[in-house]
Amino acid sequence: MSGNQVINSIFSEFQKSLDEEQELREVIRNICKEVDQISRKVTTVLQIIHHNEAEIGAACLQARELFEKANEGYGKLKEAVPPTDYYKYQDHWRFMTQRYCFLISLTIWLEKGILASHETVAAVLGISAVEEKEGFHLDIEDYLVGLLLLCSELSRLAVNAVTRGDYEKPLQISKFVMELNAGFRLLNLKNDHLRKRFDALKYDVKKIEEVVYDLSIRGLLPKAQVAEA
């Protein structure tokens, strides 16, 4: 075999590998598009929390049904992505997964008033909570970004709750977000995107504090909470 034939053979293999990778990326993109569309539906469903307290329970149930569909989508992703190539293709689903971490955490907070753990969020999505070099899993940084998005949404809810005449909700939100803020301050954040999101948390905290302070000076805090505030 001549030198030219050897080079042609080598580059033919390169082209074959590139074509296979492109085909896989297209499969991943199509799956992510479907799963991301579900997250947008959940976002729309949960917007009711800012307008109608009575409908929150029904909205959470509907969100749960949509999470089950998302779980199926993540199952397809797990099948499509080779275990050794998780980080190679992660950019396709990273921001989508961060949104799901936020939406799942918000739903669980609305249902129970508690923090959704990393393991719980991973279980809802049907993926591993163990961060490994290989295999599909829920990246801890994606989970943390989801929690920061949650704080932003709760700061908005604190304001809207007051306009509905619900003066207890801002206090509940304040306690929860302050605890999360304290937890984040224990972390040494080196990821640029995550650190920027954390920097924005102080504005969410300030907004919530202003709502609680305004309720306090107007004498609108529930009597049992006045001492704590």
Rg (CA), the chain: 22
Q: Distance (Å, rounded) from C-alpha 216 to C-alpha 229?
A: 8
Query: Was 153 annotated as part of a binding site?
Result: yes
Which residues, in sequence order, are bridge partners of residue 128? Answer: 137
Based on DSSP, count helices (H) and strands (E) in the chain, helices before strands: 9, 0
CB contact at 8 A, 146 and 100? yes
Cα-Cα-Cα-Cα torsion 171, 172, 176, 179, nearest 10 degrees, comes to 50
Query: Distance between CA atoms of 54 and 117, rounded to whole angstroms?
Result: 26
136, containing H or E segment: none
Q: Which residues are annotated as part of the binding site for Mg(2+)? A: 153
Q: Which residues are annotated as part of the binding site? A: 153
